A and B are shown apart, each in its own frame.
Chain A
Amino acid sequence: MRRPAVHVDFRAKLAVFALMFVLSALLIHDVSVCLAMLFMTLYLCAQSFYRAGIVYFLTGCTIAFLRSLPGVEGITILLPDVLLFAILRITLVIMAAYAMMRMPPGEITAAFMKMRLPSALALPITFMLRFAPTVRGEFRTVFAALRMRGLLSMTHPLRTFEYTLIPVITRSTVLSDNLAASAELRGISNPGIHSSLRLIRFQKIDSLLLLLAFGFSAICLYIDRWVMT
């Protein structure tokens, strides 16, 4: 069985996600965001997600570099500076979400149960984590179809956006119905105890990770507020 080099408990991952979410809203300077991304790259690499970690980090650095160039107000009309600002911060949050999205669903559900979270909250989150990659795949198919029909146009971005959205919504509705139906038919709504093939245990490594995450976040905030200004 292919296992990550370091197994991190879902609850620790959730805490890191929450921390990065808050940090992305608090950090003003791109350098400090990149620093936080460096930590997240190490976090992903430790779990064997090397490619994702490096790609996200390089994307972040490139965006930060482009924003630092004098007189550059974004990349064309499609990616204005304000959008680049947002993408950079969203990338940081995505890095934290990535490690959760790649977890087995049973482990997530069982961890939620252990956290005594109501199923009304736990089930949609489990579902959302599974659904994100599916929607990404659908976008790819729709873009290919638009290209075939000669409807993918950079000169009419709004029209292209409309054409993209309609089939993605239609297909996503079908797929989400299938996914939810299949989960219901395999007992996801069982109000009783859910078990997990993988061990659900908050270990020393998880505590250490949380300490490091808090420490690194504090350093990023310190640099952002007191060093960079």
Chain B
Amino acid sequence: MIELKQVSFSYDGSAFPVVHDLNLTVQKGELVVITGKSGCGKTTVTRIINGLATHFYRGALDGQIVIDGQNQHDIPFWKIGKRIGAVLQDPSSQFFADQAIDEIAFGCENYGMERHEMQRRISRAAEKTGSTALLDQRLYDLSSGQQQRLAIASIYAISPDIYVFDEPSANLDSEAVERLRLLLGALKKEGKTVLISEHRLFYLAEVADRIVCMKNGVFTKTFSSAELSRLNTDDLRWFGLRCAALPVLNTRAQCTHKEEAMVIEHLSFAYKKTPVIHDFSMQIGRGEVVALTGPNGAGKTSLARILSGLITEKSGRILVEHHSASRRLRRKLVFFVMQHADSQLFAESALEEIRLSAQAPEQAETLLESYGLSPFKDAHPSTLSGGQKQRLLLAAAESMKPSILILDEPTSGLDGENMRLLAARMREFAARGKTVLVITHDQEFIALACSRLIRLEHGRKIFDKQIM
């Protein structure tokens, strides 16, 4: 059981608490979801519970945290992992080993378990998470969904009573999200206590006992799953939430009347002799916002890298605006916004970031304003929130006036408000005659922003339909 009693916390060096006066009781076997806008303090709550807030980030904590009847303050930090298992947002950044089996063993080894006990637990954890076939594989060769399962398996092997997840669905495709949902249900059935910080609520509606909303560092409202599903659009917007049930995408056969912006003919690509894209052909018209979906590892990012001129195709032809486009030309006409905005921001201020590669630097301030970033024009990009960084990167991309904009999972980690802002901006961009290709698993975003849906599986186009 977890109990927070009048808990306030501020990070080291900050005078203001990120969260304050939190009171929460999570009973044994309960599954509780904490949701709210980006920066509301959700992740901090998970860090307070797993001890990272005080022991790792060295912040100031007021109030009391009780774990299974014992004051968390009295538990040595290295022992907390035995009671509380934590899965961070990006599983690939928490892996220590090269091979999957060693990653699952990592926690057991640190707690000094006997080899035969360790082997037993590894087998059970792999079986439970559906990772048995992955044990011999290198972690970096696995898809995001598989990595997520292994991150959970490495915690399951330690056998804690409490599981804390931070945005576990952020990088997962729909199939992996469904597996995650089943796994959470299974943990709950085993009597484990689960606490999840999450934006996407649709997959949790059936398994969650309670959904706690946060705003500006305080718990504002608690819903049951049924109550959440009854909230209307205005309520969801007020809380900055995502939808509780996925919107249905009505599609019809693709008909292309629009002027062609890009034509791809029989494109193939292989990575180290492993085929990634097979005989892929498509046409994208001006003003279209195309969603490119498919399971993790289907070849979507490789396709984007080829189209933007970052890598060379093995065979096939790409035409941009009716001209055969070499890699160099593609780099000028197509802009690819990759994942992790941090790796793509180079300047010392937001305004400088736009000016850096702008075709018309004098319009930088206007552009910054249109993305709602004027108040932060002198701020260093690294100090901005995730959503603000994402918008700054898009503004920088727009400043280069590309004909085609490609985005890779732009809504990963975005709250409802930022996701809706991004969708509106993409529609606006397309309305100016530009073309947008979005790699995404986010059905809610697709429904709001996209006019066409293409699905890629094993490097092949499975379907291509117009969204009505």
Contact = CB atoms under 8 A, between A and B. Distances in A.
Answer yes or no: do A and B interact: yes
A148 B331 contact: yes
Contacts of B106: 105-106, 183, 186
Nearest to B86: A185
A185 B86 CA distance: 7
Contacts of A150: 331, 357, 400
A59 interface: no
16 contacts: A2-B99, A105-B96, A106-B97, A106-B105, A141-B340, A141-B344, A150-B357, A167-B346, A174-B93, A174-B342, A184-B78, A186-B107, A186-B155, A189-B77, A195-B114, A197-B108
Provide the main secondary structure of the chain A interface. Answer: helix
B94 interface: yes
Contacts of B109: 106, 109-110, 194-197
Given A148-B310, A186-B110, A189-B78, A2 B136 contact: yes
Interface string B55-73: 1100000000000000000
Given A106-B110, A184-B56, A192-B112, A197 B346 contact: no
A146 B345 CA distance: 9
A30 to B, nearest CB: 31
Please classify how large the interface on chain A is, using the bins under 10, 10 to 19, 20 to 34, 35 or more. Answer: 35 or more
A198 B420 CA distance: 50
B77 A184 contact: yes
Interface string A160-198: 000100111011001100111111111111111111110
B343 A195 contact: no
Interface in B16-69: 50-52, 55-56
Contacts of A182: 86, 88, 93-96
B459 interface: no
A1 B101 contact: yes
Interface string A115-141: 000000000001000100110001001
Contact of B81 (A178, A187, A195): A187
A75 B340 CA distance: 35
A164 B36 CA distance: 34
Given A102-B98, A105-B106, A184-B77, A149 B88 contact: no
A104 interface: yes
Contacts of A194: 109-110, 112
B96 A151 contact: no
Contacts of A166: 345-346, 382
A145 B51 CA distance: 36
A134 B139 CA distance: 12
Interface of A: 1-2, 102-107, 109-110, 126, 130, 133-134, 138, 141-142, 144-151, 163, 166-168, 170-171, 174-175, 178-197
Given A148-B331, A190-B111, A171 B98 contact: no
Contacts, number: 170
A211 to B, nearest CB: 28
A1 B119 CA distance: 13
A133 B140 CA distance: 10
Interface residues of B, number: 63
A145 B331 contact: no
Interface in B100-132: 101-102, 105-115, 118-119, 122
B158 interface: yes
A190 B346 contact: no
A126 B96 CA distance: 9
Given A180-B56, A185-B86, A171 B105 contact: no
B9 interface: no
Nearest to B91: A182
A142 B339 CA distance: 11
Contacts of B305: 144
Contacts of A1: 99, 101, 135-136
A185 B80 contact: yes
Given A144-B305, A186-B155, A197-B115, 9 more contacts: A148-B335, A151-B356, A171-B340, A174-B93, A182-B94, A185-B80, A186-B107, A186-B154, A194-B110
Contacts of B98: 102-104
B398 to A, nearest CB: 12
A147 B400 CA distance: 13
B99 A170 contact: no
Contacts of B331: 147-148, 150
A177 B308 CA distance: 32
